[in-house]
Structure 1
């Protein structure tokens, strides 16, 4: 196989990845559109968008729990990452936990976080620091960072009520703010899921 053939294969592979990314982003936009155009809602807690956010977080968490089960040398790091995503999932389910007591989600989240730290320290010593360092050098780590930044920063800033009231004036309706904020959150969670799946496949292929 000559160098030109290898080059064409690499180019076609890159093109296929691009179209796959486009398809994933289209799916994310389609979920938000489904809520608005088909279900006719304003993206409440029980909506396709919110449920998809929770599903993306669950998949991300399971990817790292699966790696933790298979790779003892990095188990502590993977448990911490998986538990972090699990805590985010619990936070997204705050409306469900509010049925018990307002703000109750904090208790299971703290319990999981503390349990993960103790596990990494006691049950998986020596499998955290170096593994986290190696993970931070991967392309997937950058994807997860972008996803976290979209969820925790960009979506919050773009979802500020004062911003949309100033932009729309007398035409302000809350659904516009909700669509932008929740849509960006879903996009961020999508990045987290794609990065987690990609990293899981990369590690499993070694």
Structure 2
């Protein structure tokens, strides 16, 4: 990736992030009381970001494509996360605990596939781990699954706000940071596809 391409992508990612936050701000101002509920904008954004990531990874997962085994593992991870985001719907309209069974099946299938092709996966991961795509994914993972859980904890906000504590602050903090984390993960998926395309072109140029 050259400097101009890096700057362009940084600009596009920054604009996308800013637009997302402005949308959440507008929605919060116009939908009092439900902005961060199960039917709020952040929940829908999270589902949309995960669905987009799953669809993009599905295009890279077929056998023979560059980083296909890395893409399969990430696909399983995002699919499991997507199912987890629909827990309330699945518990209500399918069966209580249905999402847990579905997530377990997806995780087992993804890990099983990675184990069967572990040598190829490890060979691919060496190149992936040194890439911008992996850095973005690691940042998104930490933001969503570590930082948002701690930053959005009730105990944290009770300590910060003391007698002025309102659950809305805790919920807003958790949902917004979680959404940003999913956004970084989607950017990481895009970067993985671009990385795979560059590798495919390089291989084509090396052929006699």
Distance 2:122 2:64 in 1: 15
What are the ranges of 5 or more consecutive residues in structure 2 without an aligned counterpart? 202-208
Which string of whole-angstrom CA distances, capped at 9 and with x for unpartnered residues, describes residues 161-182 of structure 1? 1221222222221111111110
Aligned residue for 2:146? 153
Deviates more, 1:170-179 or 1:190-199: 170-179
What TM-score results when the alignment is normalised by the length of structure 2?
0.83
SS in 2 for 1:176: helix
Matched, 1:116 2:110: yes
Question: What displacement does 1:15 show?
Answer: 4.5
Aligned residue for 1:29? 21
Question: Which of 168, 171, 192 pairs up with 1:175?
Answer: 168
Q: 1:157 to 1:53 in 2, by over 3 A?
A: same
Aligned residue for 1:196? 189
Q: 1:13 to 1:108 in 2, by over 3 A?
A: closer
Where does 1:1-206 land on structure 2 (aligned, <5 Å)? 10=3, 15-40=7-32, 41-69=34-62, 71-72=64-65, 74-99=67-92, 100-121=94-115, 126-205=119-198, 206=201
Q: What's the Cα RMSD here? A: 2.3
User: How many residue pairs get matched?
Assistant: 196
Question: What displacement does 1:112 show?
Answer: 1.5
Distance 1:118 1:17 in 2: 34
Distance 2:127 2:23 in 1: 34
What are the ranges of 5 or more consecutive residues in structure 1 without an aligned counterpart? 1-8
Aligned 8 A contact 1:35 1:49 in 2? no
Which string of whole-angstrom CA distances, capped at 9 and with x for unpartnered residues, describes residues 135-164 of structure 1? 112111011000000011111111111221
Distance 2:7 2:113 in 1: 42
Aligned 8 A contact 1:75 1:127 in 2? no
Aligned 8 A contact 2:67 2:196 in 1? no
Deviates more, 1:72-81 or 1:134-143: 72-81
Aligned residue for 1:6? none
Q: 1:185 to 1:117 in 2, by over 3 A?
A: same
SS in 1 for 2:70: helix
What TM-score results when the alignment is normalised by the length of structure 1?
0.84
Distance 2:25 2:79 in 1: 27
Question: What displacement does 1:199 show?
Answer: 1.7
